[in-house]
Structure formats: structure tokens, C-alpha cells
Structure 1
Amino acid sequence: MKYFYEKTSDHDFKIGYKVKKNIVSKTIKGESVKVIENPFLGKLFIVNDLIQFIEKYEFVFSEIIAHSIMFSHPKVEKVLFISEFDRGIIKEILKHKTVNELFFISDKEKLQEVFEEHFFKREPNVKIVFDNAKEYIENFQNYFDIIIIDSKNPDFKDKDFLKLATKSLTKEGMLGIVNGFSKEPTAIKNEFKSLKSLFKYSAFLKSSFNLQVFSNLGIKIYSKKVDVAGITERVLNSRFKHFEGAKKLKYYSPQIHLSSMVIPKFYNIK
């Protein structure tokens, strides 16, 4: 029986996944890209031997990342999502019917094409840009209600780029940055410090998902005006009550939102 082994960057340990079927195995601009099928987890999307997407449980990650920031904002109409590929987050954003514009910037077009072929098809009402994100975002001032950055590209977390992103947000705008916090607490702390001068409020929410080596993911939400860490269950329940897509959610709820802000001490990221 064949297995795929996901390894840590320092090769301290590895996790094996039984391979029912090899679907894709190719190299795209120097990156190894695989899609395999596991008997229990369904299809897995793998880049450079690290699992990026698990079909069976993708909703845990995509729901907490998208809805935690969407429900923190009083009314979201314009959203910018920046990532190498979709990861299932776009479909969750579009469940909010107040959204009338959704932009998706990707710096890896071929990677997104593989993802669309084997996981989620391209949404026709999403404006997808395979362009220089910095040059593109310079065209917007006081425009987006929410920006979500889910990328390992350091250029998207550079202080100059984040300043541009901040200028493109409305006064009540919010910025969400996805991080894996089991291996990089120092990097996250430095990011928090660099953004303190740009945002008055912040909150960190973790995703309870533990099937991958780098599975301890979370989103740090920054806000100029709204105390995102102080949001109450009453406010969340009120917004959730009027949310048409509530019955379709499998993971996110107002209670999950609040409990996800409780970060165990050993993560040491505050």
C-alpha cells in the first residue's frame, strides 16, 4: 500500500496518508504539486510536500477564517481576498448576501487552475486578478470593508504592503491575516507589533483542526474602529440570526467564534 508522508521543514517527524489514487503529480514553476485521494479524507492538495487542503474537513478552516471576520464587521459589501489559491474561503464569503464585490488576487495562476479543476470551480461573480498585488491595490483608497490575506508570500506581510492595504480600507474596515502559529510564534508577534500603529484593535482566533503537520492555523483580525476582541455573543447572535446561510454551516457559530479567541498559554503568541 502506498503512502504519502508530510514532513516538517526540519524533518523532525512525518505523518503518513494512505494513497488510494494519484490524481495529479507535476512541477509548476519549480514547485511540486500533487493531488491524491485518501480513503477517509477524500482528495488532498499538496504543494512542495506540504498538505494545503483536505477535502473532507476543509469547512473547519474555511468557515472560521471567513466568517469570524465577516461577522465581526457590521455590514460587509466589498471584500479583497489575497492568496495563492482559493482554499474554499471564497464560497464562504459569498454566503453573505450583503457582499456586492469580491476581488481575489493570486500570484500563482497555474496553482489556482489546478485547484479549480479538482476542488472548487471558479465563481463567475468574483473578480480574479493574477497581477502584482502591490500595484493593483494602489488603485483603491477607502474602498474595501474587509481584506483577508492567506498567503506564505512574505511580500504580502511586508510593512509597506500592509500600509497600502490599510489605506484601501474604509474607516470601519478590517484586515485579517491567516497564520500557522505552532511553528512561528516570533514571526506572529513581530507582525502584531508592526500593525499596532495602524490599527487600534485586534483579536486572534484559532482553527481547531489537527490532521496536518502545520494544522494549527488561525486568523488575526485588525480593526481601526471596532473592538473585535470585545465583540459580545449578543451581537454575534443578532447578526447570525439574519444570516441566510446559517443552516449550511458545519463548524462556525457565534459560540465557536468566542471560544476560538481563547488561546492556550503554551502557544505564547500574545
Structure 2
Amino acid sequence: MKLGDPSLDHLRIFLAIVEEGSFGAAARRMNRAVSAVSYGIAQLEMQLGVTLFEREGSRKPVLTEAGEGLLAEARHVADGVDGLLAKTRSLHAGLESNLALVIDVMMPGEVTAQVLATFRERFPTVALRLRVEGLGAVAECLIDEGAQLAIGGPVVSEELQLERQAIGEVELIPVAAPTHPLAGDNVAPGETRKHLQLVLSDRSTRTQGKEFSVLSPLTWRLGDLAAKHSLLRHGLGWGNMPREMVARDLEEGRLVELDLPEKPGDKYTLYALWRRDMRLGPATSWLIDAFKEKLSA
């Protein structure tokens, strides 16, 4: 038996009958005559070579076994077309079809999660790609790898190819395990140079030769902030961390904030960054405003 190609319109008629519970209700929803709905189902059944509804002995159409089996596929096809049309309408309205976002490792995870959860609800047709990087690698993703938006720190904010907008700041504080020699009171000037410092390292070459709050010649360079966090909790050195990331460790005594004479803690300004040759779309602009609002809350 040769099957025909069902039309999208016939599939929508099929779904309307299932959802409304009758041919008449489906006709009213679709603003059509009942005869047109009946004809559409007859055509669909002929094209598929199956009976979709049991019509005998009941005023309410009941799905046959074949109808039940094809229902999920019909919904999948209709949903796919609806998604295509929604994205097309968004493109005509200037909305981005996709957006590559890079976020600095210093950004509080809770802020990122809240903003992106709202983003997915507000812009369901925008395909978002997310990367988390540190230091110069943030700019590298924008300049060399085609990302459209980054949230980065002061290290990359001076790149001439990028526009920037300050959106907030993160407090960095020096911490160590409570058993660390620097965890005591009255630490002498220069004492930090005698102890291993854990330092976030740049995966890119953009900050090669630059040092950021490095006080000790004894360093372990780590490209992963989570790895640095873990080593600090195990007493393997001292280093600066975002206060929010270590807040629970400070409360529960796994880490202590160090009172060092050099006061290496700092305010880490976060910037929204994008290429100068790029026009910001509505979804990108919304992300900048949302991150700024969360960071200032």
C-alpha cells in the first residue's frame, strides 16, 4: 500500500479533535465547518492508510489503537513547525537566533543560574551556548572564537577591540585553612612570601607576563577556580577567592579570612563585553541588564 504525505493542516485537525473531544468543538476552535473537519480527517486517514477514530456507537470520537500510536508523532511534528515559525518571527523582529555567552569564573554561580533560568523562559527560541572561562580566555572567546557576549573582569576590559560596560563587582578575599600558618593574628610583613600561594592561571596567552595579586614566589598556577577552592580547603596554600564562593566555608570553619599586612583582597569589577563591530540584539541587551540587576541586588 502506497502512503501519501499528510499535510500539516490535517495533522492540526487531528490534534484539535483529540484536545477538544469532538469534531464540533474542533471545528469551532479552528473556525471551520464540521464538514471541513470531517473531510480533513478522512483525507488524513486515507493518506496514512489507518483509521484514527472509532466513530460508531459513540457521540464522542475515541482514538483507535493506530490513532493512539500516531498521536505523539503528530504532536512532535506540529510542535516542531510551531518552533520554526516562532524562531522565524523572532528573526523578523530582530531577535537573535543563537547567542554564545562567556562568563568569568569569578561570577557567582547563583547569579548565573538565576539569570539564565529566566533567559530560557523569556527567549525560548534563542539557542544559548555557554562557556565559563577565566582572565584572558574570556576575551579570546569573543575576539577569536566568535562569542557574542562576555561577562569578564578588569584583565580583559582594556582590549581595544571590545566595548565594555561595568555591571557590578565581586569581592575577593585572602583565605586559607584554619591550620595554615597565615591564619593567626599579627602576621608579620613579608610572611606571605614564605608560603605557597594558589593563583588562578590564564588559559590564554593574552595576559602572559602579567601578575595579579601575586605576593609569593612560591606558587601553584591553576586554570580551574574549583580546583583552587578544593586545595585551599585541604590546607595546601593560601589565595584570593570570591567571598560568595567561600561564604559557607567561612561560616562552618573550613576556611578563614586572612588578616594580612599587604591586604591582597580586592574588588573585582565585572564588565559586559562585546566586539565593537557587533550590534547588540534584544536578547543580548536583556542579558546585560539582567546580570547588572542581579549583581547590584
- Normalising by structure 1, what TM-score? 0.29
- Normalising by structure 2, what TM-score? 0.27
Indicate the structure whose relative CO is greater, using CA pairs within 8 Å and at least 6 residues apart.
2
Q: Which has the higher helix share?
A: 2
Q: Which has the higher strand share?
A: 1
